[in-house]
Amino acid sequence: MEPIKLNATPTSLQGELFIPGDKSISHRSVMFGAIANGRTTVTNFLMGEDCLSTISCFQKLGVTIEHKDEKVIIEGNGLDGLVEPKDILDVGNSGTTIRLLSGILSGRDFHCTLIGDSSIGKRPMTRVVNPLRTMGARIDGRNNGEFTPLSIRGGQLNSMSYQLPVASAQVKSAVLFAGLQAEGTTTVTEPVATRDHTERMIKRFGGDITVEGKEIHINGGQTLTGTEIHVPGDISSAAFFLVAGCIVPNSEIVLKNVGLNPTRTGIMDVLNMMGATVAVKFDESEVFEPVGDLVVKTSSLSGITIEGDIIPRLIDEIPIIALLATQASGTTVIKDAHELKVKETNRIDTVVNELKKLGADIEATDDGMIIHGGTPLKGALVNSHGDHRIGMMLAIASVICEGELFLENAEAISVSYPSFFEHLNSLM
C-alpha cells in the first residue's frame, strides 16, 4: 500500500471517545466461551484483526460463533466439543492467539497445525512449547519448536509446578489452559506480576483458581459454564490519546469506559510521575475488571526512569511513552524491557529508528532506550513495519510534527484499533 499523508497540526484536541474493547480480554472471552458449556455472550468485543483471528481458529475447531458489530455469541460444548480441524489454523499477527491456543490444544486428543504472518514467524514459541511438552503435549515446529509452523498433537496432560523464565502473561495463560486439562494441580510462579485477565476470567466462568502472591494454582478436570462478558475499553488503545492529550496544546480529552485493571495501569503511573494532568473516575459498580473514565489535559512533563516491576504493566505502551518522552523536559530512561525485542517487531529498534527520522534525540540500549526530551519533531517518511502500535505512535507524532508525515504500512493499525483514525480526526 502507498504511504498515507498525515499533516494535520490542530491547535488543540477536544472531545470524548469510547475506547474499543480490550484486546487481551476479547481474545480470552472467545477462548473461555469456546471451552465452556453453554452460551457466552460478549459485548464491546474488539473487532480488530487479531481477535477476529481467534474467532476464526475456534470456528475451525468446530465451535459455533456468531458476531455482529461488537457483540459475539459463542455456543460452547465444553473442551470435548473441540474437534480436529480439517485445515491449518491461521493466527495472523496475533501472538496471544497462538500462545494461548497452544495451551488449550495441548490437552486435546487430535492434531493441528498453527501458522501466522511473517511477524509471527519470527517470534519465539519455545517459551510455550517447552512447558507444554513437559506436561505431555507433542509439539513440533521449525527449528525444533522455536518458530511456526507449529504442529500440536495433544492428549492426557500431567500437572506441574512451573517457574516462568520470563514475565509473560501469554506463557502463564498457556500453562493455565493446559493445567485446566491436566491431572492434579498445576502451579505457575511469576517472576514479576503480569496481566491477570486469565485468572479473573476463569472465575467468571465458574472455575476455581487460587492466587497466592506470585503463585497461581489451578486444578485439572474443571467444567466451565458460559456467561456474559462486557469487555472494558483497552487502556493500551487509550494510551495513544492520553499521550496526544498531554502533548498537543490547549487539549482536553475524555476517554470513557477504560479498563483500569492494576496489572495494566503502568501508563497511568508514568503519566503521574512525569507530571501529567489526568483525572480518573472509577465505575464502582464494575467488579469483574475495574473500569473508569479518564480526562487528560495538556501538561508540562519531566523525564523519568522507568524500570523494574512496572515494565510488564506498561510493556505495550512503551512506543507511545517514548514519543511522550521526546516532548518532556530532561531525559527519560527505559530499562529492563528486553521483551520489546520479541514483540510484533523489535520495538527497541523500530521505535528508536522511526523517531530518529522525525528528529528525536533517542538511542537504543540493550534493554530499552534513552530519550532526551524537549525536541521539536519534523515530518518525514516513516514506517510502521507492520506493527500496529508503532503505526499509531507515528500517527500521534504527526499531530505535533512540523510539516507532512508520510506513514508506510498504516493498515497494520487495524490489528488492534480499526477506528483509530476516525477517533483521532473526531478530536480535531
The site string for ligand S3P over 342-381 (x = CB under 6 A, - otherwise) reads ----------------------------------------
The site string for ligand S3P over 205-244 (x = CB under 6 A, - otherwise) reads ----------------------------------------
What span, in angstroms and rounded, lies between the C-alpha atoms of 217 and 274?
A: 37
The site string for ligand S3P over 184-203 (x = CB under 6 A, - otherwise) reads -----------x--------
Closest separation between CB of residue 420 and ligand S3P, Å? 16
Closest separation between CB of residue 383 and ligand S3P, Å? 20
Options 152-160, 169-177, 245-253, 396-404: segment touching ligand S3P (CB under 6 A): 169-177
String of DSSP letters for 324-367: HHHTSBSEEEE-S-GGGGGSSS-HHHHHHHHHHHTT-EEEEETT
Binding flag, residue 96, ligand S3P (CB under 6 A) = yes
What span, in angstroms and rounded, lies between the C-alpha atoms of 351 and 324?
A: 12
Cell numbers of 423, please? 477517533
Closest separation between CB of residue 156 and ligand S3P, Å? 26
**CB-based contact 317:267 (threshold 8 Å):** yes
Q: What is the largest CA-CA distance in the chain?
A: 62
The count of chain residues that interact with ligand S3P, using the rule CB under 6 A, is 10
| Cα angle for residues 304, 310, 313 (degrees, 5° grid) | 120
316 is catalytic: yes
User: CA-CA distances (angstroms) from residue 6 to 321, 352, 392?
Assistant: 21, 20, 12
Name which of 339 and 404 has its Cβ closer to ligand S3P.
339
Q: In the beta sheet, which residues pair with residue 70?
A: none
The H-or-E segment that residue 420 falls in is helix 420-426
What span, in angstroms and rounded, lies between the C-alpha atoms of 22 and 195?
A: 12
Closest separation between CB of residue 251 and ligand S3P, Å? 27
Among 6, 19, 21, 24, binds ligand S3P (CB under 6 A): 24
Tell me which residue has cell 497445525.
113
Name which of 40 and 168 has its Cβ closer to ligand S3P.
168
* Radius of gyration of the chain from its Cα atoms, rounded to whole angstroms: 21
Closest separation between CB of residue 321 and ligand S3P, Å? 14
Q: Which residues form the interface with ligand S3P (CB under 6 A)? A: 24, 96, 168-170, 173, 195, 315-316, 339
Could you list the active site residues?
316
